[in-house]
Chains A and B, each alone.
Chain A
Amino acid sequence: DSGVTQTPKHLITATGQRVTLRCSPRSGDLSVYWYQQSLDQGLQFLIQYYNGEERAKGNILERFSAQQFPDLHSELNLSSLELGDSALYFCASSVTGTSYEQYFGPGTRLTVT
Chain B
Amino acid sequence: EDQVTQSPEALRLQEGESSSLNCSYTVSGLRGLFWYRQDPGKGPEFLFTLYSAGEEKEKERLKATLTKKESFLHITAPKPEDSATYLCAVQAGGGSYIPTFGRGTSLIVHP
CA distance A2 to B42 in the complex (A): 11
Interface majority SS on B: helix, strand, loop or mixed?
strand
Total A-B Cβ pairs within 8 A: 56
Contact between chains at A99 and B91 (CB < 8 Å): yes
- Considering only residues 61-111 of chain B, those with a C-beta below 8 Å from chain A are 87, 89, 91, 96-104
Residues of chain A within 8 A (CB-CB) of B103 are: 42
Q: In the complex, are the beta carbons of B97 and A104 less than 8 A apart?
A: no
- Taking residues whose C-beta sits less than 8 angstroms from the other chain, chain A's interface range is 20 to 34
A interface residues, Cβ below 8 angstroms from B? 2, 4, 42-45, 48, 55-56, 58, 88, 90, 92, 97-107, 109
Q: A44-B101, A92-B43, A104-B43 are in contact. List 13 more A-B contacts (CB 8 A).
A: A43-B101, A45-B100, A45-B101, A48-B98, A55-B97, A56-B97, A90-B44, A101-B34, A102-B34, A104-B46, A105-B43, A107-B41, A107-B42
